[in-house]
Structures are given as C-alpha cells and as structure tokens.
Structure 1
Amino acid sequence: MFQFSLPASIKGYDTFAEFAQAEQIQSTDLLITNRFIYEPFMQACGLPCPVLFQEEYGAGEPNDQMIDAIRAKIPADTGRIIAVGGGTVIDIAKVLTFVGDWSAEDIFTGRVVPEKARRLTVIPTTCGTGSEVTNVTICELKNLRTKKGLALDTMYADEAVLIPEMVRTLPYKFFATSSIDALIHAVESYLSPKAVAHSKIYSEKAIEMIVSAYRAVAANGAESWKDHAADFLTASNFAGIAFGYAGCAAVHALSYPLGGAYHIPHGEANQLMFAEVLRTYRKKQPVGRLNDLEALFGRVLDVEPAQALDTLYRLMETILPRKPLKEYGMKPEEFPQFADSVIEGQQRLLKNNYTPLTREDMIDIYNACY
C-alpha cells in the first residue's frame, strides 16, 4: 500500500511583483527573506507586512541559535509566514510556523513535539533544495557540533510559488551547489526502497532536465546557466516532490558531519560524497535498481550504461570542481567519529539506502574522498 500526495499547492508567476499583486498580503503576514533579495525584487511593491532579514540573525546555513533569535522577533499576531529565499530561509520558516514553549534544540532532538499555528507560503530563490514541497528541515545544533534533520507533516508549506526571476540573479557558485543538490535529491529518491512509480516519474524528469541543462552549460559557458533558470527551478521542484516521498539516503547522511564540523555548503558537501557512495553501492549490490539508474543516465548522456555514472561525475566536475577532504582541513582520524555520528543521528536517511552500509563502509568512503 502507498499514498502519494502533494500537500502544498504549487503556483507559478513570472515576477515577484505579479505574485504580490495577485496575492492578498496582509499586515498580519510576516515576510522572512534576505536584504539582497528584498531590495531589488520586493521593496518597490509596498508590502503592508513586517519584514525580517535572516542575515541579521546569523550567517550561513540554519542553526539553532539563529532560529531562536528570529523566533523572538515574530509579532504576536502573525498568521502567515512568507519565506522568500534559499534553503536557510525556507528551513527556518518551517520551524517558525510552530508555537509553544520550545527551543530549536528541543525540536530537533525530539524533546518537544511542536504544534503548527501559522500558514506558510514559500518562494525559493535557488534551484536546489526543493524545500518548498517537502516536510524536511535541516539545522546545525551548535552545542552538539552536528546537523540534524527533522521530517514532520506539519512542516509542509501551504503554498509553493515558483518565480524564475528570483533565480536568475544567483551567483554561479550558488547555482552550482544548489543544482547539484537537486540532482542528488533526484538520484537518491530514485534509488530509495520507498520509491514508487509516481515518485520515480518526478526523479527521472528532474534528472533529465538537470543533466541536459548541464550539458548545455558545459558547452556554452558558465553564465549560460541563466538561460535554463526556469528549467533548473522546475527540476528542483520535481526532485523535492520525489525525495519528499521516497527520501534521501547515505549521500546526505555522510555529508552532514562535513557541514556541521567544517561548514561546507550543503550541496558542495553532498557532491563530495556522491560518487564514492554510488561506487560503494555498485560494489555491494551490482544488480538492482542501480542498473536502471545507469540506463537512465546513459540515455540522457548518450553513452553506454556501463560508462554513464563515470561520465556523469566528469560532467558534475565541469559544473563544480570537487576538492579532496584534506583541502578543507580534515584529518583521517576524524572519520570514525564522523561515521559514528551518522549511525547515531541519521537513521532517518540511512533506512533509504539502496543497500545497507556498515560503519567500515562509511569510513572507507570518507578515506576515498580524502
């Protein structure tokens, strides 16, 4: 038995001004965004609601201190949160729909089961997280020196709004890391044992759209990605739908210690783990859904299935060159504790692996990336 649904309604507009004109934004709404997004796209719209800028409460990806600081500034009469931004803004906004007496660490460690009391509208400004259609949020817990994910049905957005205008101004590095994240979402959800025909359709289409656009970018130069911004945004949304149902797995699980301990951006950390995780899958279980994935990439890349994944890795390196872990300052003696933290804290993801990985497998993957 399975049940596939899209809890968030999905809308599309060409510009933020068009969205603002069509939507009835009220003084009881709260806009959470970044100033560099607000000033060019939203300031002239004369919005009646208060605005909070995420960067004024901390830099980088979401952490518990940032969430707690922003939460303290939410007006008491807020009925809806409008989140306009990348993964940091969106993940924070999901938590801020909750009311009650809690800290972010309470929620992410399971000490408190929160209650949603505010509506959520999400407008993504990157082409990677797919977070506008998932019930997942990620947070760095400063005291615990790790990242943890939380998946609750109450964290689905009520509305997801896709506006290509918001993506085209991304710096190249943010485009690269976010779109690679979307591609890995699509691959992991495709290989997940929880995948069904309905979720696989979204995974497959996301893979086709991203890889086809990557080939065009590789042929025409880095800045040509903007010509495909709408495709990358749509593909990210499709991948979000797919992994929202089937889940992500070991690539994401193994990347979290890298982000938590060394603050490597999420998509970049995922790419560091991606090839070695899939190579380990192939060694441990060479026959299975992985062969279907190889055939899919073979069709999109115009190569034989046996060469498809290696061809993909080279294409991804063209989009974002991958560095060895040693260049981030890591040491091999850290890898056993990384593996232990993954086993202890990321079972939510590890249960979606194509094939089980042991502690020794995980340490070997880190060493292979060193």
Structure 2
Amino acid sequence: MKENFDFLMPSVNFFGKGVIKKIGDRAKMLNMKKPLIVTDKFLRSMDNGPVAQTLASLEAVGVPYTIYDGVEPNPKIRNIQEAKKVYLDNDCDSIITVGGGSSHDAGKGTGIILTNGDDITKLAGIETLQNPLPPLMAVNTTAGTGSELTRHCVITNEKTKLKFVVVSWRNIPLVSFNDPMLMLDVPASLTAATGMDTFVQAIEPYVSTNRNEITDGQCIQAIKLVEESLREAVANGHNIEARTKMVEAEMLGGMAFNNADLGYVHAMAHQLGGQYDAPHGVCCAMLLPIVEKYNIVAAPERFAQLAKIMGENTDGLSTRDAADLSIKAMRQMCDDVKIPRSIKAIGAKPEDFELMAENALKDGNAFSNPRKGTKEEIVQLFQEAYDQK
C-alpha cells in the first residue's frame, strides 16, 4: 500500500435527483461561451432525455451551443477527429459530454487533439499531455465506467483494432453531473454491462499495488452498494433506490481507480473490446472471475477480505479457502445479471490471443496488477475465458 500519494477527482461533483438543471449555471460560472455537446444519436433523439435536458438548462441561461452526436460505442479515432472539426468550424470554446463512458472518452479525446496535437496515438501512456484541454464538463447517464470522474481516456484505433489509453490529470472534467433519474430507462442488458464495470472498478483497485487507505474505503463501500443494488436495477430499471445506489457505487469506484489504478481485467478487456468491438462492461465481467482467481496467490488476505465484503461466510476458513469464496461471489454476480461466461459470445478467436496478450501487458492498467504475469500466462487466461461454461 502506498504511503505517499496524490488524490485526483473533479473539483465539483453534483449528485442526486434533478442536478442536471445546474448545468447552465455552472457553464456560465466557467465562462463557457459556446460549448460543443459531445453525445450519441440515440441520446439526442430522446424526448426530454439527457441531451434535451442539458440543452434546456443551457438555453435557460442564454448559453449557445453546437452538437456533435456521432459518438460510437468504443469511440474511434474518427469520432474525435469529426468532433474536432465541428468544434473548430463553429468557434466553440469548451466541451460538455452527455452519455456514458463512450461520450466522455470521445469528449476527452477531442479536447486532447485540440490542444496537444492531432495524432492521439502518440500520446498513449501516462501523463503525456503538455497542454490543458478546453474547459470540460461531463453529464453522466450510466452507472458504469466512471469516466466522468477520471483521468483516463480510452480510444479505439479502428485501423489496428487496438484500444489505447491516455492517462493524465488534464483529462479530468472540471465538473461532473450524476442524476439517477437519467438512468431509469436504461435497458436491462446495458444496466448489467455498465454495472459490472462498476463492480470490476471497485474490485481491481482494492487489490492494486497502488491502493491506499482512502481508495480502500471507497472500494469497500462501492462493492457493498453493487451487491445491494445491481440485481435489483437490472430486474427493475425504475427502482429509484437501486439506481441511486448504483450511481453512488459508480462514483466511488471511479474515484478509487482514478487514484489506485486497475489491473489485468481491464488490460485484457481493452483487447477484447478493440479487436471485436464488444461492450466494455461485458468484456470485463467475463474476465473477472478468471483473472482474479489467477491473482489470489499474490494477495490472499485481500481476497479473503473481499469475500467478507461481498457477504460470504468465511467463519472457520483458512485465508486461502476464504479467498476462493470471493471468486464464487464474483461469478454468481455475473450469472445473476445474465453475463455470458465464455468470450466466445463476443466472437473471440484463439488465434488472436497471443497478440492480445502481448498488447495487454503493455496496457497502462497492467502495471498495478498484484501478480506479474508473462505473455504465456495471459494467453492461458484468455483461453480459460474462452473455454469456461
């Protein structure tokens, strides 16, 4: 556990029913003259949806705007290049992202290439940005990625089918908005996928080599909230209490991994998402029990504690046996929210595993994993995720 650490998060975070109405006032406070709204076509098309409510808040205080609604799942380089053109053609001076992780990453990516050079692939890595992004606010619509809070920007190179991460404190939005009422109509499958991403983003920092006392507390509470509410949110999306708890969990997990980092689950999931354009949360969930079982030997006490946090009875068990119960609980959660067990479900092919394993070990999330693996071991983990039933 790190004794000396910094702790990063947006300077202002609005949470709760109706906070989306505060967007216009905050835009005025930040002196936004003409923000670019970065979102997707589905959210833009919704009557009185998150985009419509964002625009209404801006209009109420007289802030003009321009919209880019071309964000794709697993946002591509072409998306941020298109958004940059819209930004420049319309004399924008700031960015407001509306959506889940894809919109937030696309907005960050747009800001990056506006101020740090057009070739974002050269900026992959940790703290590579020399210049600040344009003023950025993030309106979140899923209890999932935590991207509205974090320094991570994940983009897919559509030519190479590789995801890469630009990690910098400069990517952190100035203001985040998390209104649970925006999430009531999110479909069950997307609720499950994004909710499992939240679950993973609370578990990985808890066993990370970069963890600290503050992130431990955030992880513990986030895991408990997911255990209490994800199944209910998937079963009934209009359960406001469950939705609210999932947003709280998502925010806590985002703050935790923003500072303690992640591990091989995310490093490997990025390869699956880039190669097969698969939903990020689903990729993480399918890998979670496999990767964390592999990690147990590096931190058995932490995994034994995880079992207790997830509600397993560990009385009278050895540390190692208690640790195994944490994997059981992870798999049960995946099954309960209908996540496929095998990565065959997203089109994974064994002939791709060697290259994906090589790239996973280069991913920025790999370096804080508690167990240090070889390419051959990562290939084996992909194979186990492929074979599991």
Deviation (angstroms), 1:13: 4.8
- Residue number in structure 1 paired with 2:302: 289
Contact 1:86 1:129 in 2 (8 A): yes
1:194-245 C-alpha deviation (Å, 9 max, x unpaired)? 1011111111111010111135458xx3446554111111110100000000
Deviation (angstroms), 1:259: 0.8
Q: Say if 2:52 is the partner of 1:34.
A: no
Q: After superposing the two structures, state which structure 1 stretch, 63-72 or 329-338, moved more.
A: 329-338
- Residue number in structure 2 paired with 1:261: 275
TM superposition score normalised by structure 1: 0.89
- Structure 1: 5+ residue runs without aligned partners? none
AA in 1 matched with 2:192: A
Q: After superposing the two structures, state which structure 1 stretch, 8-17 or 232-241, moved more.
A: 8-17
Q: Say if 2:316 is the partner of 1:316.
A: no
Q: After superposing the two structures, state which structure 1 stretch, 124-133 or 313-322, moved more.
A: 313-322
Distance 1:67 1:21 in 2: 24
> In angstroms, what is the RMSD of aligned CA positions?
2.5
- Residue number in structure 2 paired with 1:54: 69
AA in 2 matched with 1:34: D
Q: Say if 2:251 is the partner of 1:245.
A: no
AA in 2 matched with 1:71: K
AA in 2 matched with 1:12: F
AA in 1 matched with 2:21: E
Deviation (angstroms), 1:35: 4.2
C-alpha change, 1:11 and 1:326, in structure 2 (3 Å) is closer
Deviation (angstroms), 1:322: 1.4
Q: Secondary structure, in 3 states, of the residue corresponding to 1:31?
A: strand
Aligned residue among 312, 330, 348 for 1:330? 348
C-alpha change, 1:94 and 1:106, in structure 2 (3 Å) is same
Q: Secondary structure, in 3 states, of the residue corresponding to 1:165?
A: helix
Contact 1:31 1:49 in 2 (8 A): no
Deviation (angstroms), 1:290: 2.2
Contact 1:167 1:233 in 2 (8 A): no
- Residue number in structure 2 paired with 1:69: 82
Q: Secondary structure, in 3 states, of the residue corresponding to 1:166?
A: helix
Q: Secondary structure, in 3 states, of the residue corresponding to 1:351?
A: helix
Aligned residue among 157, 161, 164 for 2:180? 164
- Summarize the alignment of residues 68-107 of structure 1 with structure 2, pairs less than 5 Å apart: 68-75=81-88, 77-98=91-112, 99-107=115-123
- Residue number in structure 1 paired with 2:250: 236
- Residue number in structure 2 paired with 1:339: 357
- Residue number in structure 2 paired with 1:115: 131
Q: Percent identity?
A: 18
Deviation (angstroms), 1:316: 2.1
Distance 2:27 2:344 in 1: 51
- Structure 2: 5+ residue runs without aligned partners? 316-321
Contact 1:108 1:139 in 2 (8 A): no
Q: Secondary structure, in 3 states, of the residue corresponding to 1:143?
A: coil
- Summarize the alignment of residues 215-226 of structure 1 with structure 2, pairs less than 5 Å apart: 215-216=231-232, 221-223=235-237, 226=240
- Residue number in structure 2 paired with 1:280: 294
Q: After superposing the two structures, state which structure 1 stretch, 195-204 or 354-363, moved more.
A: 354-363
C-alpha change, 1:170 and 1:51, in structure 2 (3 Å) is farther
- Residue number in structure 1 paired with 2:149: 133
AA in 2 matched with 1:247: D
C-alpha change, 1:36 and 1:264, in structure 2 (3 Å) is closer
Q: After superposing the two structures, state which structure 1 stretch, 177-186 or 326-335, moved more.
A: 326-335
TM superposition score normalised by structure 2: 0.84
